[in-house]
Amino acid sequence: MGGRFLVTGGAGYVGSHLVRALRARGDRCTVLDNLSTGHRAAVPDGVALAEIDLADRAAVDKILADGPWDGVFHFAALSLVGDSMRDPMGYFAANAGNSAGLIDACIRHDVKKLVFSSTAALFGLPERLPIAEDDRIDPGSPYGESKFMVERMLAWADRVHGLRYAALRYFNAAGADPDGALGEDHRPETHLIPLAIDAALGRRPPLAVFGTDYPTPDGTCIRDYVHVSDLATAHLAAFDQLDRASVTYNLGSEAGHSVHEVLASVARVGGCKVPHTLAPRRPGDPAVLVAASARIRAACGWTPRFTALDDIVATAWAWRNAHPSGYDGG
Return the range that interacts with ligand UDP (CB under 6 A); candidates 38-46, 135-143, 155-163, 205-213: 205-213
Can you tell me the distance from the alpha carbon of 300 to that of 296, in angstroms, rounded to the nearest whole number? Answer: 5
Least distance (Å) between residue 207 CB and ligand UDP: 5
Judged by CB, which is closer to ligand UDP: 39, or 276?
Answer: 276
Cis peptide bond N-terminal to 88, omega within 30? no
CA distance 250 to 105: 27
We find the least distance from the C-beta atom of residue 122 to ligand UDP, in angstroms, to be: 13
| Closest approach of ligand UDP to the CB of residue 163, in Å | 29
| Whether 143 is catalytic | yes
Nearer to ligand UDP, 234 or 259 (CB): 259
Q: Minimal distance in Å, beta carbon 230 to ligand UDP? A: 17
Distances from the Cα of 205 to the Cα of 129, 195, 197, 247, 274, angstroms = 34, 9, 11, 43, 10
Binding window for ligand UDP (CB under 6 A); candidates: 18-26, 61-69, 185-193, 230-238:
185-193
The yes or no reply on residue 266 touching ligand UDP (CB under 6 A) is no
User: Binding to ligand UDP by residue 207, rule CB under 6 A?
Assistant: yes
Asked whether position 282 contacts ligand UDP by CB under 6 A, the answer is yes
**Do the beta carbons of residue 31 and residue 55 sit within 8 Å?**
no
Query: Which residue out of 13, 143, 165, 214 is catalytically annotated?
Result: 143
Rounded Cα distance between 236 and 276, Å, is: 38
What does the alpha-carbon distance between residue 208 and residue 92 come to, in Å, rounded to a whole number?
A: 30
Q: Is 172 in the site for ligand UDP (CB under 6 A)?
A: yes
For residue 193, what are the contacts with CB-CB under 8 A and spacing of at least 6?
Answer: 174, 175, 184, 225, 262, 266, 312, 313, 316
Q: Which of 192, 234, 247, 313 binds ligand UDP (CB under 6 A)?
A: 192
285 binds ligand UDP (CB under 6 A): yes
Name the residue among 142, 205, 131 with its Cα closest to residue 170: 131
Smallest separation (angstroms) from ligand UDP to the CB of 194:
8
Minimum distance of ligand UDP from residue 289's CB (angstroms): 7
Q: Are 188 and 326 in contact (CB under 8 A)?
A: no
Cβ distance to ligand UDP smaller for residue 190 or 321: 190
- Peptide bond just before 142 cis, omega within 30 deg: no
Q: Is 191 in the site for ligand UDP (CB under 6 A)?
A: yes
**226 is an interface residue for ligand UDP by CB under 6 A:** no
Max CA-CA distance within the chain?
Answer: 57
- In the complex, the smallest distance separating the C-beta of residue 280 from ligand UDP, rounded to whole angstroms, is 10
CB under 6 A: which stretch of 26-34, 94-102, 186-194, 313-321 binds ligand UDP?
186-194
Residue 259 engages ligand UDP in binding (rule: CB under 6 A): yes
Q: Which residues of 53-77 are buried (b: 16+ CB within 10 A; e: fewer)?
A: bbeeeebbbebbeeeebbbbbbbbb
Is residue 313 a contact point for ligand UDP (CB under 6 A)? no
Does 265 interact with ligand UDP (rule: CB under 6 A)? Answer: no
The reply on whether position 210 binds ligand UDP by CB under 6 A is yes
Q: Could you tell me where the DSSP H helices lie in the chain?
A: 13-24, 57-65, 81-86, 88-91, 98-108, 142-161, 192-200, 228-240, 259-270, 294-300, 309-322
Q: Tell me which of 60, 182, 195, 231 binds ligand UDP, using CB under 6 A.
A: 195
Interface with ligand UDP (CB under 6 A): 171-172, 190-192, 195, 207-210, 221, 223, 259, 282, 285
Hey, which residues are catalytic here? Answer: 143
